[in-house]
Amino acid sequence: MTEPISLRELDAIGVDRLQGVGEQRRTSLEEAQIHSVFELLTHYPRRYIDRSHEAKLGDVHPGQEVMVVGEIESVASRRTRNRRSIVEASLSDDTGSVELVFFNQAWRAKQLSQGLTVALFGKVDRYRGRLQMTNPLVDLVGDRTGRIVAIYPQSSKAGLTTWDIGRWCGEALRRCRGRQIADPIPEDFLNKMGLMDRMSAFDAIHQPNSMSEVLGARDRLVLDELLRVQLVLRMRKMKRLHDALGVKHSNQGELPDQFIRGLPFELTAAQQRTIAEVRADLESDQPMHRLLQGDVGAGKTLVAMYAMLVAVADGHQGALMAPTEVLAEQHHLNLFELAKHLEVSDESTLSGKRPLSIKLLTNGVTGTDRSQILRGMSEGRVDLVIGTHALIQEGVNFDSLSVVVVDEQHRFGVEQRSVLRERGRQDGRLPHLLVMTATPIPRTAAMTVYGDLEVSTLNELPPGRSPIATRWVSKDLVSVWEHVRSEAGQGRQAYVVCPLIEESDKLDASSAEKTREELAEGELSELRVGILHGRLSAAEKQKTMDSFREGDLDVLVATTVIEVGVDVPNATTMVILSADRFGIAQLHQLRGRVGRGSHESVCFLVSTDEVSADAEARLRALEESTDGFALAERDLELRGEGTIFEQRQSGRNDLKLASLARDRIWVERARDIATQLVDVQGSLDEHGFLEDEVRWFVERRDDDAENLSRG
């Protein structure tokens, strides 16, 4: 074969085709999620050692932070009286030597064998008259003598060393050079951006001659990753616009405007702008596909209600799907209260009108009630239905569903959203889709993760909301419980969120039960303390939430089941135990359960005395800001992106090299290129090689393969 070798082909070649990869090595590589030559070549170096900048041991002096390369002369290990492990070694080069000490790293004794060449980075001190480095960073560089040495993520568990991986990458690249690695991006795009071809980029990232080569290679391979994602999203969007027909709403009815006029407050400018965007979508016969993002308490539900009322005014139905029963019940309660004055046309009544029908459908609704709701939905007598996954179960049908709202959409898979849209109508038209999230998304992430949706942003809070003071507490819990008792004495309420042990309702429930018992018998013994967790039945959850809303409980001990949507304006205190176990987004969501009324609110982030550097950065960020969008940017910087598409297969990551936080400019360039390359029918017909690569990319993620073909 003389054609260039594609990524699809490289992905089909097992690593055992490389010299020195026998059964044992193949198993080790698979433990590191490296099965194919493609996965090996995209197992990128985590950093580089520039050996032209290494210090000679004879030249270093105390107080310096340096990189040194030398040979291990001796290694010894021992344990102290308190069972702490100490590994001591000696490193030398042709100019001098330095002693190495590693505390609580017993495995170093096996790693640092005599005669091994290693690179170390750390601070040099003087101890008992000799130079010493304590707990330095260690990289095993073997006999590689190039000026720039690539250091790969290593796995001592799998027995892989950085020079093993480097050697195999070098062999793979050497064997690709005959045919070259295919480059499907049109040459004029690469020239315009000053980028090297793909083969050169793989060579330079693994075997660079200079750090400037590394930077150029990274730019090119980052564009590759981001462009594949943007092409998938653009193809999906254009295919949907080309193929799908929605329900065009005339908007002649007064119902939505009556709803707005009946509100006891003015809409924010952001809400007015977003309602106008949604209304324009609904007047088109192309189905709306819009993401509505807004910080906690920004008023997304009102926009969603407006959209659903446009459907009802035009003789259709609306549905809102929420991820939990607690959130669905909260939405139903709020919307029922806001819309209780509204009426719709009904020729079967004497007055020609009837009250707007809003029903709740969850797995907790059973028997006659459920049967009547299902019949009303299928016959068109139920106008709006608020529910959970129960909305997409067999036997649930609508008469004419034309607007679907999915709340906290990241909790649902692509398939679940699609089922609700496709079951809602019998005429082949798709209902309009509005997906909402209270997790603010940085602009670059929104362009990437939700590139196939139009995005509306609510960036203002309604008037009357009180600010939330946030305090990180590690020792003085006495003052926390004093504050809770003081607030309760003034008739206000508090949440106490229990630590997330792991993704287990059973364990989370036991944690919550234990916490409630300790508080009810100890610090909060004079208060009425309730409990809410995932192991309670729907009826028990409803009863507890009703008691808390009505003020019959002072304190609600809960798991993260209260994370989204729970709205009790009288709650002014949030205590999050083991807050260092949670991410920024989740802490911000939990904090947003207070500050919903006119009283000043406080959120206490409780941690142990010692937390990791990452956890400290998260907690400090929460203390310093209540701006969800600023926190989302910080979260992206601290946490990274993970997998973009809804793929839960272990080890797969759509962005191995690119960072949405760091590579904003390449996100925008990739989106621009995708816009130019994808045609109006959602295909890449003029760029067959690139289309095949995108299809291969999608096929590797089963969740999205069917979604792309369906549009």
What is the average pLDDT across 619-642? 78
Q: CB 566: neighbour CB atoms within 10 A?
A: 24
Q: In what side-by-side order are the strands of the sheet with 601-606? A: 468-473, 601-606, 571-576, 493-497, 555-558, 529-532
Q: What is the pLDDT of residue 647?
A: 40
**If you average pLDDT over every residue of the chain, what do you get?**
85
Reported in sequence order, the residue ranges of 549-600 that DSSP labels E, i.e. its strands, are 555-558, 571-576
CB 10 within 8 A of CB 36: yes
Taking the C-alpha atoms of residue 532 and residue 497, their distance in angstroms, rounded to an integer, is 10
Q: What is the pLDDT of residue 193?
A: 95
Q: What is the pLDDT of residue 650?
A: 31
In this model, does residue 584 exceed pLDDT 90?
no
Q: What is the pLDDT of residue 708?
A: 42
pLDDT in tens, 495-527: 999 876 555 555 555 688 889 999 999 999 999
Of 673, 682, 697, 672, which is closest to residue 186 (Cα–Cα)?
673
Q: What is the pLDDT of residue 144?
A: 59
Which residue reads 């809804």 in tokens? 646
Please indicate whether residue 139 or residue 553 has the higher confidence score (pLDDT): 553
CB 275 within 8 A of CB 306: yes
**Exposed/middle/buried for residue 344 (C-beta within 10 Å: 0-12, 13-18, 19+):** middle
CB neighbours of 232 closer than 8 A, spacing ≥ 6?
645, 694, 697, 698, 704, 708
In this model, does residue 655 exceed pLDDT 70?
yes
Q: What is the pLDDT of residue 654?
A: 67
What is the average pLDDT across 570-598? 88
Q: What is the pLDDT of residue 414?
A: 53
Per-residue pLDDT band for 705 (boundaries 50, 70, 90) equals very low
Please indicate whether residue 451 or residue 118 has the higher confidence score (pLDDT): 118
pLDDT in tens, 520-575: 999 999 999 999 887 888 788 888 988 998 999 999 999 877 765 577 889 999 99
What is the average pLDDT across 148-156? 74
Which residue reads 């190039």 in tokens? 146
pLDDT in tens, 433-478: 998 887 767 666 666 666 667 888 887 777 667 778 999 998 778 9
In this model, does residue 417 exceed pLDDT 80?
no
Q: Which of 7-16, 357-366, 634-643, 651-660 has the lowest mean pLDDT?
A: 634-643
CB 268 within 8 A of CB 462: yes
Question: What domains appear along the chain, each with residue ranges and CATH number?
Answer: 1-46+152-178 (no CATH), 48-151 (2.40.50.140), 255-458 (3.40.50.300), 468-625 (3.40.50.300)
pLDDT in tens, 190-239: 999 999 999 999 999 999 988 899 999 999 999 999 999 899 888 888 88
Please indicate whether residue 151 or residue 77 has the higher confidence score (pLDDT): 77
Q: CB 370: neighbour CB atoms within 10 A?
A: 18
Burial 325-341 (b: 16+ CB within 10 A, else e): bbbbbbbbbbbeebbee
pLDDT in tens, 353-370: 899 999 999 988 889 999
Q: What is the pLDDT of residue 393?
A: 81
Q: The tokens of 623 are what?
A: 């203390």
- Bridging pattern class, strands 117-127 and 468-473: unpaired
- Angle between helices 688-699 and 211-243 in degrees, nearest 10: 90
Taking the C-alpha atoms of residue 19 and residue 2, their distance in angstroms, rounded to an integer, is 23
Per-residue pLDDT band for 416 (boundaries 50, 70, 90) equals low
pLDDT in tens, 316-344: 999 999 888 878 888 898 899 888 889 99
pTM attached to this predicted model: 0.65
Of 574, 425, 606, which is closest to residue 493 (Cα–Cα)?
574
Q: Which of 108-122, 439-453, 646-660 has the lowest mean pLDDT?
A: 646-660
The listed range with the strongest mean pLDDT (146-155, 222-231, 234-243, 628-637) is 222-231
CB 304 within 8 A of CB 292: yes
In this model, does residue 652 exceed pLDDT 80?
no
Q: Provide the percentage of residues in the chain whose pLDDT is more than 70.
A: 86
CB neighbours of 186 closer than 8 A, spacing ≥ 6?
677, 687
